[in-house]
Amino acid sequence: MKHLALCAAGLLALPVFAEGENVTITPPASVSRADGLAAWARIYQVTSHPRCSNCHVGPDNIPMWSGPSYGRPRPHGMNINGGESRIGAEFLACSTCHATTGTRANDAPHMAPQVTADWQLPPVEAHWFGKSSEDICHQLRDRDLNGDRSYREIAEHLDHDVILHWAWSPGGGREPAPYSLQEHVNDVLAWGVAGMPCSDD
Amino acid sequence: MKLTVDGVAHEVDVEDDMPLLWVLRDELKLTGVKYGCGIAQCGACTVHLDGAAVRSCQIAAGDAEGAEVLTITGLGQPNALHAVQAAWVEHQVAQCGYCQSGQIMQAAALLENDSEPTDEVIDIVMSGNLCRCGTYPRIRAAIHTAAAKMKEA
């Protein structure tokens, strides 16, 4: 019994937040509003980057092709529409071309990207494409629009939802999202500890 | 690895990352499945994997282990065509014909999900299957005909 009690005490002494699966999730003790806004500015660079925003599209459910290798932003070729299911179930499933696999590399230019998760559009509440930093900031801190997540849970989502990791290793000559997954998670945690500030508050 | 293709069980000795299209064409000699682009941009290699249309150039053989694969060769038989194949003949859809294997497999999958697709739905679903000859109006007409025949059956 004494041993169990010591174990329990040891557990309590551990940091509240443990290692994530793919990144370290360690919120800083305190972050000023200014530093929180600086973290947000970096987060916005990620959320507005084509590797992320091209799929964070609105209720027309049409993914985008944009970024340096695409010339001008344009709807996904082939008349693709993800439907309200956001996985193309009503029309052509994303998985028709975007295979769910970890076997093959995303190394061929223009090849349909594939990851070890089912390819899909994010929920329509996370419509970011073409939106301002302030708009996305307000969306991401609103639990009605962010999947009912705290900042910590947003970081965990980034950690374990492997489809998101593709943004930093897209292959095929595509420009990756800025920073790294770990740096992005750190920014989310810093922004959260600062109280999730938005510049127009 | 074990694969069931067109109802026949096969055991093939290939690398896990070999595209299913290669397995079908080069190992099993099912050349009805066509190679178009190899990067999921054209749809020529479309087959059904456990009932769902997929571009076989994008499926790693290792991920298809144990799956049921249906190709154009197994969709129907010369004396018992699938409704989509029969409609293709009726409308004389093919011009050069290279993309038609994939077109037919995609159309058959579409009709499994939607027994009465509108022109809009047909256009959305079939737009990933390219036809350099531009047979799209006949493809659309044939799908409507096949849908009607399948409803009667």
| Beta strand residue intervals within chain A, DSSP E | 64-65, 74-75
**What does the pLDDT look like over B32-89, one tens digit per residue?**
999 999 999 999 999 999 999 999 999 999 999 999 999 999 999 999 999 999 999 9
Give the residue extent of every domain in chain B.
Answer: 2-75, 83-152
Measure the CA–CA gap between A187 and B5, rounded to whole angstroms. Answer: 49
**pLDDT exceeds 60 at position A14:** no
Nearest to A97 among B58, B62, B63 (CB): B58
| Tokens of residue A28, six digits | 């800083």
Measure the CA–CA gap between A103 and B33, rounded to whole angstroms. Answer: 22
| Tokens of residue B117, six digits | 């697709």
DSSP three-state, residue B132: coil
Q: Which residues fall within 8 angstroms of residue B139, CB to CB, at 6 or more apart?
A: B93, B103, B107, B122, B126, B131
Nearest to A152 by CA among A11, A13, A16, A12: A16
ipTM confidence score:
0.96
Cβ–Cβ < 8 Å for B93, B138: yes
Nearest to A92 among B16, B17, B128 (CB): B128
Q: Do A111 and B16 touch (CB under 8 A)?
A: no
Chain B residue with the nearest C-alpha to that of A109: B39
Chain B residue with the nearest C-alpha to that of A88: B125
Instruction: Give residue A103's pLDDT.
Output: 78
Residue A171, min C-alpha distance to chain B (Å): 13
Fold topology of B2-75: Ubiquitin-like (UB roll) (3.10.20)
Does CATH place domain B83-152 in 1.10.150.120? yes
Nearest to A104 among B46, B60, B121 (CB): B60
Measure the CA–CA gap between A128 and A140, rounded to whole angstroms. Answer: 10
Residue B21, min C-alpha distance to chain A (Å): 13
